[in-house]
Copies of this chain bind each other. A is one copy, B any other.
């Protein structure tokens, strides 16, 4: 299981500084959509340059122009890029093809997809499927990702899908989420806004390890 540090709403330098503080406790480093739209591919290049040995995730949120956008971010150094599950299927297919050419990975963001759409997306079993409660749903509507059951809509770890989870995950909500056996747990403000980000990341890692030892997941 991997911890993905989500970096959003900051400058590239702030992102590099934050990642440096917590780098020993996180596995994947996400260049957030806001950094990409504010600073372009320089954001991906700089994070990869600073952390060449980390898995860099470009949260492109691609909805169209898949080949062009994915080539952009893989050429900039990304190891993983995101596409919206709500996009036309041909776009997801093109993302998969482009990533395969680069030896890179695709994360399908399931934000605001129907169970039917999620089931259709199961065919992309090389991708990571990300169950996602968005920032706007959290901040404007008060939602958070917590207490998901073993079956979240059309997404089931039992089918061998690699899952990711994102959406205001905290130290408190984490144990309940582990039942889905996530491949990646995406954490943003619970680390970046903590008084002591490194300590916060360390505690999240500890909770994960404890859960693993309890064999709640395999």
Contact status B134-A88, CB under 8 Å: yes
Q: How far is the CB of A177 from chain B (nearest CB, A)?
A: 19
- A39 CB-CB contact with B under 8 Å: yes
In this complex, how many residues of chain A approach chain B with their Cβ under 8 Å: the count is: 38
Chain B residues within an 8 Å CB radius of A39: 40-41
Q: A9-B68, A63-B63, A68-B9 are in contact. Are A90 and B136 (CB under 8 A)?
A: yes
- B140→A64 contact, CB < 8 A: no
**Cβ < 8 Å to B, chain A residues 79-94:** 84, 86-88, 90-91, 93-94
Q: How far is the CA of A86 from the CA of B85 in the complex (A)?
A: 10
Give the distance in Å from the alpha carbon of A91 to the alpha carbon of B65 in the complex.
22
- Do the beta carbons of B136 and A88 come within 8 Å of each other? yes
The reply to whether the CB of A150 lies closer than 8 angstroms to some CB of chain B is: no
Which residue from chain B places its CB closest to the CB of A32 in the assembled complex?
B65
- Complex Cα distance A152/B8, Å? 37
Q: Does A38 contact B (CB under 8 A)?
A: yes
Q: Which of B60, B86, B137 contacts A112 (CB 8 A)?
A: B86
- What chain B residues lie within 8 Å of A66 (beta carbons)? 136
Q: Check A135 for interface membership: any CB of B closer than 8 A.
A: yes
Q: A38–B94 contact, CB under 8 A?
A: no
Closest to A140 in B: B90
